[in-house]
């Protein structure tokens, strides 16, 4: 990856709907160069896809939680497969320490979140859970 690739990735990360012609003007290169670079970045796996980022108004209506899981030995793979089927589970990370997995959940209501937490606790292999409900965001470097 060179400076042009990094500029394109930065611009697309800020707004993935930026037209190719605008990216080319910003980078000072031909539109065809930008198209070729983006295709190369896709094929090499650097760009895995495009998504939207919800605005503050939509995000404020959602309830977020971090859930820590302590699980049975050798139950990670089937447990993770079950978690993947739950739309409320945004991410799942293995970790060190007394807990084995860290989940990020999002729900439209406390009832939906409560139901998701009950379903997680009932998955075979889950020994213990600890839920941390997010109250407010002080800052987020991803935005």
Q: How many domains does the chain have?
A: 2
- Domain containing 7: what range? 3-43
pLDDT score at 117: 97
Residues 132/138, Cβ–Cβ less than 8 Å: no
**46-80 tens-digit pLDDT:** 988 887 766 665 556 689 999 999 999 999 999 99
Count of C-beta atoms within a 10 Å radius of residue 89: 19
Residues 5/41, Cβ–Cβ less than 8 Å: yes
Sequence-distant (6+) residues with CB within 8 A of 68 are 99, 101, 102, 103, 129, 130, 131, 132
Per the domain annotation, does 12 fall within a domain?
yes
pLDDT score at 50: 80
Exposed, middle or buried by CB within 10 Å (0-12, 13-18, 19+), for 101?
A: buried
- Both 62 and 36 in one domain: the answer is no
- Both 32 and 68 in one domain: the answer is no
Residues 120/69, Cβ–Cβ less than 8 Å: yes
Kindly give the pairing relationship between strand 101-107 and strand 89-94.
antiparallel
pLDDT score at 56: 64
pLDDT score at 60: 62
Per the domain annotation, does 143 fall within a domain?
no
Residues of the chain with pLDDT under 70: 53-61, 142-143
- Both 62 and 115 in one domain: the answer is yes
- Both 31 and 73 in one domain: the answer is no
pLDDT score at 28: 92
The Cα-based distances of 39 to 5, 22, 36, 49, 140 in angstroms read 11, 17, 5, 11, 30
């Amino acid at each position: 990856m060179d400076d042009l690739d990094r500029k394109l990735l930065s611009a697309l990360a800020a707004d993935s709907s930026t037209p190719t012609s605008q990216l080319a003007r910003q980078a000072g290169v031909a539109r065809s160069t930008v198209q070729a670079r983006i295709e190369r970045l896709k094929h090499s796996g650097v760009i895995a896809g495009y998504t939207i980022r919800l605005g503050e108004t939509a995000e404020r209506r959602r309830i977020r939680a971090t859930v820590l899981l302590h699980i049975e030995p050798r139950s990670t793979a089937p447990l993770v497969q079950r978690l993947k089927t739950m739309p409320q589970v945004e991410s799942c990370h293995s970790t060190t320490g007394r807990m084995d997995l860290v989940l990020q959940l999002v729900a439209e209501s406390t009832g939906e979140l409560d139901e998701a937490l009950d379903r997680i606790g009932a998955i075979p292999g889950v020994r213990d859970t600890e839920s941390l409900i997010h109250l407010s965001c002080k800052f987020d470097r991803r935005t």
